[in-house]
Amino acid sequence: MLDHVTEPLIDIGANLGHESFDTDLAAVLERARAAGIVHLLVTGTSPASTAKALDLATQFPALLSATSGVHPHEAQHCDSEAFAEIARLATHASVKAVGETGLDFNRDFSPRAIQESVFEQHLELAARLGKPVFLHQRDAHARFLPILKNQRDALRAGGVVHCFTGERHELYDYLDLDMHIGITGWICDERRGAHMLEFLHDIPLDRLLLETDAPYLLPRTLRPRPKSRRNEPAMLPEVLRVAAEAMKKAPDLVARQTTLNARRLFALP
């Protein structure tokens, strides 16, 4: 990992409510601080996980904020009562974005028509609240793009396509909609993310955001390899290192700009 970057970093997507963090969250947060992380967004993916994310943000208000949403995997469980709870939680000042929401046609854990309906409800909620959207798209670009495009003018606060893993033409489509792009340790995986290294430099620096998606997507480029396969926010400097190298930019420059982007998009202090 980098040990010479002096600029602070913001992890815009960490699933700190995951059970793997239940026993050592304080240590995880301390390691994050030591690695230069000054703020994290805790991702909400269901009413229960959003409530937990908000609880964590309330416990650590200087370090954590939350998002409020239902992941497309969980869309089939998002009835009117569940969405009303998401909408209620989303009004809290510590909730900085609506989501995680979107479409996932890779796993199809929820029927596609239901995913699309729940996605549209989230976009409408974000528009009403004036908060940015935190978006998920996997193997669903052909349906995701027109739904997002139809609502884009109403989304005054914009948003981020979180954990972008797609192709160059998909990237251009999201940039054309003036969306931010979230990059994770996927780019550190030679088996799945190598294609992205060829066009990371096409992302304008003022549209780039960094995230770990912890506990998932542990960077495979870490040396020495961690004993645990659990990813955590302290690993974000490795995502920065690989991204900066691919973009042929100084790591400090990328760190400074992505932190500024995150503060601006999510209205962070």
One-letter-per-residue 3-state SS of 181-217: EEECHHHHCCCCCHHHHHCHHHCCHHHEEECCCECCC
Contact 119, 72 (CB under 8 A): yes
Domain assignment present for residue 101? The answer is yes
Q: What secondary structure does DSSP assign to 102-132, as a single string?
A: EEETTT--S-HHHHHHHHHHHHHHHHHHT--
| Predicted pLDDT at 235 | 98
Per-residue pLDDT of the chain (269 residues; tens, 9 = 90+): 555 578 999 999 999 999 999 999 999 999 999 999 999 999 999 999 999 999 999 999 999 999 999 999 999 999 999 999 999 999 999 999 999 999 999 999 999 999 999 999 999 999 999 999 999 999 999 999 999 999 999 999 999 999 999 999 999 999 999 999 999 999 999 999 999 999 999 999 999 999 999 999 999 999 999 999 999 999 999 999 999 999 999 999 999 999 999 999 999 98
Tokens of residue 118, six digits: 């729940």
Contact 76, 108 (CB under 8 A): no
Q: How many residues does the chain have?
A: 269
| Predicted pLDDT at 16 | 98
Domain assignment present for residue 19? The answer is yes
Domain assignment present for residue 1? The answer is no
Half-sphere exposure of 26 (CA within 13 A, CB side): 2
Domain assignment present for residue 2? The answer is no
| Predicted pLDDT at 269 | 82
Domain assignment present for residue 168? The answer is yes
| Predicted pLDDT at 1 | 53
Tokens of residue 9, six digits: 């970093």
Q: At what angle do helices 112-129 and 141-151 cross, to 10 degrees?
A: 30
Contact 166, 131 (CB under 8 A): no
> Domains in the chain: how many in total?
1
Tracing tokens 């995986």 back to the chain, one arrives at: 189
Half-sphere exposure of 171 (CA within 13 A, CB side): 21
Domain assignment present for residue 71? The answer is yes
Number of C-beta neighbours around residue 221 at 10 A: 17
Q: What secondary structure does DSSP assign to 70-98, as a single string?
A: --GGGGGG--HHHHHHHHHHHTSTTEEEE
Domain assignment present for residue 246? The answer is yes
Cβ neighbours of residue 124 closer than 8 Å, sequence gap 6 or more: 151, 154
Domain assignment present for residue 4? The answer is no
Contact 262, 10 (CB under 8 A): yes
* Residues of the domain holding 251: 9-265
Q: What are phi and psi of 133, to 5 degrees?
A: -105, 145
Tracing tokens 């998932």 back to the chain, one arrives at: 216
CATH code: domain of residue 209: 3.20.20.140
